């Protein structure tokens, strides 16, 4: 997933799970909750971008 370690990956997944749970259970989002949402989404966006870059690079390498 583009993380440096399993621990970092686990932390990211746990963070995403917490975000999902909070949103799914329609708990009121406290002001500090929005900051956590933005940070989590930014991290996942970066992860997806890195994953896509690795995929494209691998595809180009396989075509050579």
CB contact burial 7-43 (16+ within 10 A = b; e otherwise): eeeeebeeeeeebeebeeeeeeeeeeeeeeeeebeeb
Structural domain count of the chain = 1
Over residues 9-61, the pLDDT tens digits come to: 788 788 878 878 877 776 666 677 778 778 888 888 888 888 888 778 778 88
Say how far apart CA 14 and CA 35 lie, in whole Å: 16
Q: What is the tens place of the pLDDT at every residue in 32-46?
A: 777 877 888 888 888
- Structural domain containing residue 11: 6-63
- Virtual CA dihedral for 5, 8, 13, 15, nearest 10 degrees? 180
Is 1 domain-assigned? no
């Amino acid at each position: 997933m583009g993380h440096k370690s399993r621990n970092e990956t686990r932390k990211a997944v746990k963070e995403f799970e917490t975000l999902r749970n909070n949103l799914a259970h329609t708990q009121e989002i406290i002001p500090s909750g929005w900051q956590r949402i933005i940070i989590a989404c930014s991290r996942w966006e970066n992860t997806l971008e890195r994953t896509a870059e690795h995929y494209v690079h691998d595809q180009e390498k396989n075509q050579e």
